[in-house]
Structure formats: C-alpha cells, structure tokens
C-alpha cells in the first residue's frame, strides 16, 4: 500500500503532461485541417515524377 504514495503523484503528473501536450497541439493548429490528409491520399503526385525522369 505504501507504493500508492509514489504511484498516484506519478500518474497525476503524467496525466497533466498529456493534457498540456494536447492543449499545446490545439493552440498550434494541429487539428485545423482534418480532411486535408485524407484528400491528399487520393491524388497521384507520381505523374510529375515520371515526366521528369523520362530518358532522352
């Protein structure tokens, strides 16, 4: 039971660190464009690369 004296503050500290990281990510705009990455996957950017590497 004396282990709880150490584990509870450590758990609270880690929880506060996670909350701080989440709030920082909100303020820095990490969640502004949630659909942009999903749409970028659908577009094929390899066509430009193929034209640049054509022999001749």
- Does position 38 have pLDDT exceeding 60, yes or no? yes
pTM exceeds cut of 0.75: no
- Does position 15 have pLDDT exceeding 70, yes or no? yes
Burial bucket for residue 51 (CB in 10 Å: 0-12, 13-18, 19+): exposed
- Does position 36 have pLDDT exceeding 80, yes or no? yes
Q: What is the mean pLDDT of the chain?
A: 85
Distances (CA, A) of 35 to 12, 20, 55: 33, 25, 37
Dihedral class, residue 31 (left if φ above 0, else alpha if ψ from -120 to 50, else beta)? alpha
In angstroms, the CA 2 to CA 16 distance is 23
């Amino acid at each position: 039971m004396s282990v709880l004296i150490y584990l509870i503050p450590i758990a609270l500290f880690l929880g506060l660190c996670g909350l701080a990281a989440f709030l920082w990510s909100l303020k820095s705009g990490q969640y502004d464009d949630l659909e942009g990455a999903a749409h970028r996957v659908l577009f094929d950017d390899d066509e430009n690369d193929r034209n640049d590497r054509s022999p001749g």
